[in-house]
Amino acid sequence: MTREELCANRSEALKAFDFPENVISCEKYGNGHINDTFLVIAKSKDREKKYILQRMNDEVFKDPVSLMHNVVLVTDYLRSKIIERGGDPERETLNPLKTHDGSAYYRDSIGSYWRMYKFITDSVSLDKVRNADDFYQSGVAFGSFSGQMAGFDASQLVETIPDFHNTPKRYDAFERAVEADICGRASGVAEEIEFYRAHKADMEYCANALAEGRIPLRVTHNDTKLNNIMLDAATGKGICVIDLDTVMPGLSVFDFGDSIRFGANTAAEDEQDLTKVSLSLELFEIYVKGYLEGCGGALTEEEIRLLPYGAKNMTLECGMRFLTDHLQGDTYFMVHRDNHNLDRAHTQIELVKDMERKWDKMRDIVEKYR
């Protein structure tokens, strides 16, 4: 879509949504890479209000109608829970606007899908942790999301990205990539391939726990990064979980685990100096404390026991996906240098190794806060 087309259809979308204010401005907002996001400033009776307008990326999310079905179900449920406990539903959950015909999305004249949310006032989102409390607040917020959604029937939700965290299926795709070896790279990564083969059972552990009925299917966020939390601008406290596009049925331990994989790693995801890569037990403990506090007792004993396994599983899965993409010619993840995906795989492998060295301490920390 050209810039001119985007602007024209943005104006068309704005007219479709049911809000009475006069639009003053609508400018590009944030640094997201998936959807086109705009900050709308509108005026009504001498008072300015803000909204978020987004064009959904239907190349990444093939079924935006089902995606918005999920968003509406989840936000409606969260809103009811927030009101029930005397919270502020205008700030503690996303609030989708309806179109004039009562829909939660608008399909424009060229087939693009749009949505609007009320802007969460006096809040900030962070791309990087400023201090340990930021990571703690992230844990509280994602834990609270899990806790509040615990009574919701996850089977009502559609998989917006089918098999997103189906690790055994990801493993099968990895083995097919090794066998096909379309870029002739397999011989150069024999050690890495063997690492993932040796950890196949680890990548089946949590999935088996679900299949055996030892842990329940939950409503999961599936993108538990710090920048998907809104923090109160004044207090720094976590207010609201945002970016619900990947909310699907899943495992609570995977939401927890991906936060640890990304947030408790002492190095960047593509760090080439592997001596810098390790699991920060301090950050791990801070997040465990916040996450379990946020959950408010909603997790089962077995889910809590499996939290370290979730961290290991997510790190294994992510690294295996990077290695798979390297073998297939770097067609999925964006790369900026030669062997970029291989570097990413190496950091995840090193992080898994450090988790294994610290495994007993990880389990002791979880036991401390259970």
Specify the CATH number for the domain of residue 285. 3.90.1200.10
| Claim to verify: residue 223 and residue 289 sit in the same structural domain | yes
191 within domain boundaries: yes
Q: What is the pLDDT of residue 7?
A: 59
| Claim to verify: residue 44 and residue 170 sit in the same structural domain | no
pLDDT value at 235 more than 60: yes
Q: Say whether 140 sits in a helix, a strand or coil.
A: helix
The two most distant CA atoms of the chain are separated, in Å, by 69
Residue 214 belongs to domain spanning: 132-369
Q: Rounded to whole angstroms, how far apart are CA atoms 29 and 7? A: 14
Q: Rounded to whole angstroms, how far apart are CA atoms 234 and 21? A: 28
| Claim to verify: residue 218 and residue 260 sit in the same structural domain | yes
Report field, pTM of the whole predicted structure over 0.75 = yes
Give the tens place of pLDDT for each residue, 50-89. 999 999 999 889 999 999 999 999 999 999 999 999 999 9
Question: Are 149 and 222 within 8 A, CB to CB?
Answer: no
Q: Rounded to whole angstroms, how far apart are CA atoms 203 and 197? A: 10
Give the tens place of pLDDT for each residue, 17-32. 998 778 899 999 887 7
| Last residue in a domain, options 121, 151, 174 | 121
| Last residue in a domain, options 98, 121, 144 | 121
Q: Which amino acid is at 225?
A: K
Q: Rounded to whole angstroms, how far apart are CA atoms 287 and 236? A: 16
27 within domain boundaries: yes
The CA-based dihedral angle spanning residues 33, 38, 39, 44, taken in that order and rounded to the nearest 10 degrees? -160
The lowest-confidence range among 5-14, 220-229, 349-358 is: 5-14
pLDDT value at 37 more than 70: yes
Going through 92-148 in order, the beta strands assigned E by DSSP cover 106-107, 113-118, 123-124
Phi then psi for residue 304, to 5 deg, are: -65, -45
Give the tens place of pLDDT for each residue, 90-138. 999 999 999 999 999 999 999 999 999 999 999 999 888 788 999 999 9
Please, which residues bridge with residue 28 across strands?
Answer: 38
Q: What angle do CA 158, 155, 117 make, to 5 degrees?
A: 50
Q: What is the pLDDT of residue 82?
A: 97
Average pLDDT, the chain: 94
| Claim to verify: residue 172 and residue 312 sit in the same structural domain | yes
- What number of residues does the chain have? 370
281 within domain boundaries: yes
| Claim to verify: residue 239 and residue 333 sit in the same structural domain | yes
| Claim to verify: residue 273 and residue 201 sit in the same structural domain | yes
The region, left, alpha or beta by phi > 0 then psi within -120 to 50, assigned to residue 39 is beta
Question: Are 167 and 313 within 8 A, CB to CB?
Answer: yes
| Claim to verify: residue 184 and residue 37 sit in the same structural domain | no
Question: Are 229 and 92 within 8 A, CB to CB?
Answer: no
| Claim to verify: residue 144 and residue 107 sit in the same structural domain | no
Q: Rounded to whole angstroms, how far apart are CA atoms 309 and 366? A: 11
Give the tens place of pLDDT for each residue, 297-324. 999 999 999 999 999 999 999 999 999 9
Number of neighbouring beta carbons within 10 Å of residue 118: 17
pLDDT value at 5 more than 70: no
Give the tens place of pLDDT for each residue, 257-283. 999 999 999 999 999 999 999 999 999
| Claim to verify: residue 67 and residue 188 sit in the same structural domain | no
pLDDT value at 3 more than 70: no
Q: What's the burial of 65, exposed, middle or buried (CB within 10 Å: 0-12/13-18/19+)?
A: middle
pLDDT value at 2 more than 60: no
The single-letter DSSP state of residue 265 is B
| Claim to verify: residue 182 and residue 320 sit in the same structural domain | yes
CATH of the domain at 33: 3.30.200.20
127 within domain boundaries: no
Which whole number is the average pLDDT over 284-295? 97
According to DSSP, the β-strands at 47-56 and 36-44 are: antiparallel
Which whole number is the average pLDDT over 322-336? 95
| Tally of structural domains, the chain | 2
